[in-house]
Amino acid sequence: MEITFSLAEIDNAAQQILAQNIKKTILFHAGMGVGKTTFIKALARQLGVKDMTSSPTFSLVNEYETENGEILYHFDLYRINTEEEAYDMGLDEYFYSGNLCLIEWPEKTPNLIPIDHTSITIKQLPDGRRHLTVK
């Protein structure tokens, strides 16, 4: 699936993703500043999360509750230096918890990521829109 959208259309794009057969673990691939966190916030809004306020860059993981009481974990692994560090912090337990895990910078922990996952790649287009590919 591929979607091209402007920031004004981001909530609609998030709805389209959630309507697909996505896995509980979703990996986000994009360069710095392309909009991973912004898109994750849109997904969370569509799931009824009310308190989504910040990127977990310094805490590594934020936990939110959806409107139907499910747990959503948002990870920003940018500051992880080694996979061993991530393992020692118990990140794999989150990944295999059965809860929705939205992971920025998953390439930092390739051996901890569940095999059964969805990958989303976001690219910024010259006109400012984003092109999103789901695999």
User: What local confidence, expressed as pLDDT, does residue 60 receive?
Assistant: 85
Condensed to tens digits (0 to 9), the pLDDT of residues 27-51 reads 999 999 999 999 999 999 999 998 7
User: What local confidence, expressed as pLDDT, does residue 98 receive?
Assistant: 93
DSSP classification of residue 97: S
Higher pLDDT among residues 55 and 49, named by residue: 49
- Tokens coding 105: 């910078």
What domain range includes position 129?
A: 2-134
CA distance 40 to 36: 6
User: What local confidence, expressed as pLDDT, does residue 52 receive?
Assistant: 65
Give 69-86 as a DSSP string: S-EEEEEE-TT---HHHH
User: What local confidence, expressed as pLDDT, does residue 129 receive?
Assistant: 97
| Predicted model pTM | 0.92
CA distance 98 to 94: 8
CA distance 112 to 72: 18
Condensed to tens digits (0 to 9), the pLDDT of residues 66-104 reads 999 999 999 999 999 999 999 898 998 999 999 999 999
According to DSSP, the β-strands at 2-5 and 130-134 are antiparallel
The CATH number linked to 76 is 3.40.50.300
User: What local confidence, expressed as pLDDT, does residue 58 receive?
Assistant: 58
User: What local confidence, expressed as pLDDT, does residue 125 receive?
Assistant: 97
User: What local confidence, expressed as pLDDT, does residue 11 receive?
Assistant: 97
Domain count across the chain: 1
* Bridge partners, residue 5, by sequence: 130
CB atoms within 10 A of CB 12: 13
User: What local confidence, expressed as pLDDT, does residue 112 receive?
Assistant: 93
